[in-house]
């Protein structure tokens, strides 16, 4: 099969990159351009869109972002759901578009690990509101999450949570395999 030749690049205005090919500066996230290799440009200025069309475009973009998250899971439903939930958390809970893959576990797992570590140290659990304020809403929330992940007691609990999730996934996969084998044998 012949390799497809790329004929255009996609671009949109964003912080630090606001100059359209027409030479004008645009507010971040206010202009999209398809830049064809021959120099032609097809552009859309977002403020010119009707509200319903802009909302539809937003939904399409979020669905695309969620869909991209599980593109490489090769039919594993649990991995697909896990990846999509991770992106949802990134967008909704953390208010970020992207984060390095090495950034760590989900915030919910981090909260659970913190409270497990506190319980083992004889300390009272933090409330969900307190955890959200400190690790999501505070100006230094990202640094607070990184500091928590670097704490040995919390790291031990995060490792345990990941192991529990892996065990649950394995049990579910074994049950599905056993059921598939039974169904296959029943038809023979």
pLDDT 10s digit of each residue in the chain, 188 long? 567 889 999 999 999 999 999 999 999 999 999 999 999 999 999 999 999 999 999 999 999 999 988 887 777 788 788 888 888 888 887 788 876 544 456 788 888 999 999 999 999 999 988 988 888 877 888 888 889 989 999 999 989 988 887 787 777 777 777 776 666 666 66
Instruction: Give the pLDDT confidence score for residue 14 in this predicted structure.
Output: 92
Q: What's the confidence (pLDDT) of residue 103? A: 45
Q: Is residue 75 part of a domain?
A: no
Contact yes or no for 149/155 (Cβ under 8 A): yes
Domain that includes residue 111, residue range: 106-188
pLDDT at 183: 62
How high is the pLDDT of residue 185? 61
68 falls within a domain: no
* Domain membership flag for residue 29: no
pLDDT of residue 79: 79
Task: Note whether residue 84 is domain-resident.
Answer: no
The domain total for the chain is 1
- Three-state secondary structure of 11-79: EECECCECECCCCCECCCCCEEEEEECCCCEEEEEHHHCCHHHHHHHHHHHHHHHHHHHCCCCCCCHHH
- Residue pointed to by tokens 């989900």: 106
> Does residue 172 sit within a domain?
yes
């Amino acid at each position: 099969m012949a390799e497809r030749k790329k004929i255009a690049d996609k671009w949109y205005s964003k912080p630090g990159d606001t100059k359209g090919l027409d030479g004008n500066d645009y507010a971040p996230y206010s202009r999209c351009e398809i830049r064809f290799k021959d120099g032609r440009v097809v552009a859309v200025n977002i403020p010119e869109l009707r509200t319903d069309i802009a909302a539809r475009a937003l939904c399409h973009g979020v669905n695309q972002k969620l869909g991209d998250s599980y593109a490489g899971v090769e039919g594993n439903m649990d991995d697909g759901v896990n990846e999509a939930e991770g992106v949802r958390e990134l967008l909704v809970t953390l208010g970020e578009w992207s984060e390095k893959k090495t950034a760590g576990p989900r915030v919910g797992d981090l909260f659970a690990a913190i409270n497990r570590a506190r319980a083992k140290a004889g300390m009272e659990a933090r409330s969900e509101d307190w955890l959200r304020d400190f690790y999501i809403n505070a100006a230094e929330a990202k640094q607070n999450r990184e500091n928590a992940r670097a704490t040995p007691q919390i790291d031990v609990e995060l490792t345990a949570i990941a192991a529990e999730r892996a065990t649950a996934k394995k049990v579910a996969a074994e049950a599905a395999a056993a059921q598939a084998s039974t169904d296959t044998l029943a038809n023979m």
